[in-house]
Amino acid sequence: MTETVNIHEAKTHLSRLLDKVSQGESVIIARSGQPIARLSRFESPQPGTSERVGFLKGQIEVPDDFDRIGGQAILDAFQGEDPDASAP
């Protein structure tokens, strides 16, 4: 069962509430009887198990010159040259 507490009680007993949350329970925080937030345990991924890294493997191709694309424009910008300015 989910416990509902008011804001004052949540501030006063935050440590106790976080202990409950760490055990898998959730806690609803209410203002004037209206739920406004839910505390729930955060499940952090284990190191080395991220599903995000490599998710596009085989779906895109990085060109061999990727690290040189736009190199001249970048160099010109750092040297104060405006590549869009017309010559006099």
Q: How many CB atoms lie within 10 A of CB 17?
A: 19
- What is the chain's percent helix, strand, coil content, to nearest 5? 30, 15, 55
* Statement: residue 7 has pLDDT above 90: yes
Tokens coding 16 = 């106790």
pLDDT band for position 4 (cuts 50, 70, 90)? very high
Enumerate domains of the chain plus CATH numbers: 3-39 (3.40.1620.10)
Whether the per-residue pLDDT at 28 is higher than 60: the answer is yes
Average pLDDT over residues 61-87: 79
| Distance of alpha carbon 13 from alpha carbon 6, whole angstroms | 11
Does the structure show a pLDDT above 60 at 29? yes
Beta bridge partners, 16, equal none
User: Between 31 and 63, where is the model more confident?
Assistant: 31
pTM of the model: 0.50
Tallying the residues shown for the chain, one arrives at: 88
